[in-house]
Amino acid sequence: MPFITEELWQRLQPHQPHQPSSSAAQTSLCLQPYPSSQQLAPWYFPDEERDFLLVQEVVRVARSLRAQSSLTKEKPALWVECSSSQAQILQDFSSALRTLSRVSSVQPVSCPPAGCVVGVVDHTCRLHLEVKSGVNVDKQIAELSRRRDRLIPKLEQLLSRVHSQTQDQAKVPLHVREALGKKVSALEQELKNTEEQLQQLKQDQAEQ
């Protein structure tokens, strides 16, 4: 919306009484030089931007677990199995993480409690979302089954890429192969967690 941007530019210019009204301060925004990297330096935080990528992934997986468990207004507890460096990042952004994930707490743990739904962020980070009684088991089983059916072809596709890269190691950089290996590990772990949750839910359903 260029008309609003132009209005803001004119209103936010510093008042400089010694300059005439036709000076650069009153010139149209579209005639101003493009900002340089030096001007943007005070707003550049590369470490925080890198760390927040983990927070975004945790939020994405936590929201997926909420939807899978049919949680709407509830704010359950969230336990995280992760490395010490990841735990520190999540602690630094704990307020944003709780708000965006709509959880009551985020606690790094090495031994999470039973009865949680599990989601995989990457090969070193897993989420355990508290699920209380009253959850629609049939709906949860259906959602987990759909997730499993989506994961299997994705994993097969990645394993095929790994096989191709193994045959052409000289052509594929090491960091590319390592990144693909991490994706495969995370997907295998997520598929394993999904299968375990399905089996547990079906067992609980049979015992009721």
What are the sequence ranges of the domains in the chain? 43-133, 136-208
Can you give the pLDDT at residue 43? 85
Q: What pLDDT is stored for residue 26 in this prediction? A: 63
As a three-state string, the secondary structure of 100-166 is HHCCCEEEECCCCCCCEEEEEEECCEEEEEECCCCCCHHHHHHHHHHHHHHHHHHHHHHHHHHHHHH
First CA to last CA distance, the chain: 59
CB atoms under 10 Å from CB of 26, counted, come to 13
18 DSSP assignment: T
Task: Identify the pLDDT of residue 208.
Answer: 65
Residue indicated by tokens 């336990």:
79
From first to last of its 208 residues, the chain has per-residue pLDDT tens of 888 999 988 888 765 444 455 455 568 888 888 888 888 888 889 999 999 999 999 999 999 889 888 888 889 999 999 999 999 999 999 999 999 999 999 999 988 887 788 888 887 898 999 887 555 678 778 888 888 899 999 999 999 988 888 887 778 888 888 888 888 988 898 888 888 878 877 887 787 6
Q: What pLDDT, on the 0 to 100 scale, is given for residue 56?
A: 96
The pLDDT of residue 51 is 95
pLDDT at 14: 61
Structure tokens at 2: 């260029």
Q: What is the pLDDT of residue 23?
A: 53
Residue pair 187/155 in contact by the 8 Å Cβ criterion: yes
pTM of the predicted protein model: 0.65
- pLDDT, residue 76, reads 92
Q: Which two tokens stand for residue 67?
A: 């939807």
